[in-house]
Amino acid sequence: MAKPEENRIIASTLSYAYPDAEKNAVSGVTMRVRNGEFLAILGHNGSGKSTLAKLFNALYVPTEGNVWVCGLDTRDDDLVFDIRQHAGMVFQNPDNQIVATVVEEDVAFGLENNGVEPGEIRVRIDEALKAVNMTRYAKKAPHMLSGGQKQRVAIAGVLAMKPDVIILDESTAMLDPSGRAEVMNTVHRLNKEEGISVVIITHYMGEAATADYVIVMDEGRIAMSGTPREVFTQVDAVRELGLDVPPMTDLAHMLRADGLDVRADVLTVDEMVEEVCRLSSSI
Amino acid sequence: MLKDITLGQYFPGDSAIHRMDPRMKLILTIVYIVGVFMVSNLPGYLLALAFLYLVVRISGIQFSYLVKGVKPLRFIILFTFVLNLFFVQGETPILSLGFFTLTKEALDNAIYFALRLVFLVMGTSVLTLTTSPVQLTDGLERLMRPLQRFHFPAHELAMMMTIALRFIPTLLEETDKIQKAQMARGADFESGNLIARAKAMIPLLVPLFVSAFRRANDLAMAMEARCYRGGDHRTRLRELKYTKLDAIGALAMAAFLFVVVLEGRLLG
């Protein structure tokens, strides 16, 4: 395994069972999130992907195995708040994670909890709101915002704590397509420009296709992993796990089945356009 | 129905009253109410009204706003009035109807009590109209902080108030959604007698409560994920500071109280 400072999160033979549950929700997962990586975790409902996310943030403590966040063991009670600063989490329901009645107060919430000086809080709020393009809404009431805007406020709240990893636990699941695009664009920009590692838990294949690395969960175990291209070209295997492949990969798959010579690892519309142009020019 | 009550509705502005420290406003509101309860003659109430009117003028809020706030409470006020008429013992009868005699003392008492209630509501309305809910909870938390020494949960109370304020619009929206969903499936919330209507509320309340509990669970998780650990060592984005305005406000209130006491002594 690589040196710890190159990995933001390391999970080693990690298992977790909910109290009173017979089966492990997560069992024997070993994985890592590299510095600056954009990782997508896929899986159908109940595959353990959300549980995994909560283990990364010390909201759950593993029943077996270990999780290290930036070298900190989540089993250590004294480190819990440090870990939560390093690994910020954005949840699914935008309404249920905003605490304050004013946007900027909500962004300040995490910083206030950590006892940051008021002057410093001010600076960090302004930075965080600017980074998610929400400066204009600083004084607004959260319930007046759209779903995508609320999620961006939630991201700003995490961002203000200067995290090394942001974990999005199905944060786009309740949004409309434009809200989903808002959130994904924001997260990608933060990943590229600020070098923050991102873990997205999702069941939108389109979102997973934009990641650096994909992990597919099934029954609490890692069923497949690799780059999006490596994973999604195995169309049948992905389908067997109850998941779809990205629409363009699906199309390429169908075209190939009809005997057309397109690449099997097409992920995006642009790549598909390229392939089709190549085909039509060769005819 | 809910929206008519001025209590708890903030009227944004930038007047001297708006800019005063919420702690000072809270204290002065209490002092004003105590002052009003000390008054027991009509000129005294005129003084209280004049003072209130002055404050409202400075704050830039329309006085009719305050009057509207009293309206939903008219039955309670009327009830207190009638109760006082009947149950206060007096010596100077003015009216006799069979077994019931109306005395001057009872009438005076009834009027004063009704007036006190009106001023109580109007006085607190000035506070809530000029202070945002966030400032108000901040002020309350700061004022109650000394009580933490006796294990009084000041921070927790303020936090609960903030969360309640935050979720009122969300839950109202949700109630509306559930109501429409149930109506689409034939639920009838409007007809029938009181009992029938109360029963009709069950399909509305059960899903609302279930969802409120789920929200509370989610929110607790989200707060934990953002390092919430109670009030110890917590800082605040906005630290409250007393300014010259607060000193002026306190002086004005002291002057009012002085005049009220003096007037009470002179006119008995």
Taking contacts as CB-CB distances below 8 angstroms, the residues of chain B near A110 are 226-227
CATH number of the domain within which A189 lies: 3.40.50.300
Taking contacts as CB-CB distances below 8 angstroms, the residues of chain A near B224 are 59, 84
Residue A131 has pLDDT above 50, yes or no: yes
Across the interface, whether the CB atoms of B227 and A81 are under 8 A apart is answered: yes
The pTM (predicted TM-score) of the whole model is 0.81
Residue B246 has pLDDT above 70, yes or no: yes
> What is the Cα gyration radius of chain A?
20
Q: Is residue A268 part of a domain?
A: no
Q: Is residue A17 part of a domain?
A: yes
The pLDDT tens digits of the residues spanning B9-35 come to 777 788 999 999 999 999 999 999 999
Across the interface, whether the CB atoms of A59 and B239 are under 8 A apart is answered: no
| Residue range(s) defining the domain that contains residue A94 | 4-245
The whole-angstrom separation of Cα B180 and Cα B110 is: 45
Summarize the confidence of residues B127-137 as an average pLDDT. 85
Q: Is residue A282 part of a domain?
A: no
Q: What is the pLDDT of residue B169?
A: 83
CB atoms within 10 A of CB B93: 12
B169-205 burial by CB neighbour count: b if 16+ within 10 A, else e? ebeeebeeebbeebeeeebeeeeeeeeeeeebeebbe
Q: Is residue A257 part of a domain?
A: no
Residue B105 has pLDDT above 80, yes or no: yes
Summarize the confidence of residues B135-156 as an average pLDDT. 87
The pLDDT tens digits of the residues spanning A40-49 come to 999 888 889 9
Q: Is residue A278 part of a domain?
A: no
Q: Which of A185-194, B59-68, B186-195 has the highest mean pLDDT?
A: A185-194
Q: Is residue A98 part of a domain?
A: yes
Residue B4 has pLDDT above 60, yes or no: no
Parallel, antiparallel or unpaired: strands B93-97 and A221-226: unpaired
First-to-last alpha carbon distance for chain A, in angstroms, is 49
Q: Is residue A233 part of a domain?
A: yes
| A window 101-160, beta carbon within 8 A of B | 101-102, 104-105, 108-118, 121-122, 125, 141-143, 157-158
Taking contacts as CB-CB distances below 8 angstroms, the residues of chain B near A157 are 226
Q: Is residue A143 part of a domain?
A: yes
Q: What is the pLDDT of residue A97?
A: 93
Residue A231 has pLDDT above 80, yes or no: yes
Q: What percent of chain B has pLDDT over 70?
A: 96
**Whether the Cβ atoms of residue A197 and residue A8 lie closer than 8 Å to each other:** yes
pLDDT band at B1 (very low <50, low <70, confident <90, very high): very low
Residue B8 has pLDDT above 60, yes or no: no
Q: What DSSP state is assigned to residue B101? A: E
Q: How far is CA A144 from the centre of its chain?
A: 26
CB atoms within 10 A of CB A87: 29
CA angle B119, B123, B124 (to 5 degrees): 125
Write down the mean pLDDT value for chain A. 90
Residue B115 has pLDDT above 70, yes or no: yes
Summarize the confidence of residues A15-35 as an average pLDDT. 91
Residue B6 has pLDDT above 80, yes or no: no
Write down the mean pLDDT value for chain B. 87
Tally A–B CB contacts below 8 A: 94
Q: What is the pLDDT of residue B198?
A: 86
Q: What is the pLDDT of residue A4?
A: 52
The backbone torsions φ and ψ at residue A175, rounded to the nearest 5 degrees and listed phi first, read -100, 155
Which of A77, A112, A170 best tests the B interface by mutation, with the highest count of B CBs <10 A? A112
Say how many domains are in chain A.
Answer: 1
The pLDDT tens digits of the residues spanning A79-100 come to 999 999 999 999 999 999 999 8
Lowest mean pLDDT among A206-215, B85-94, B195-204: B85-94
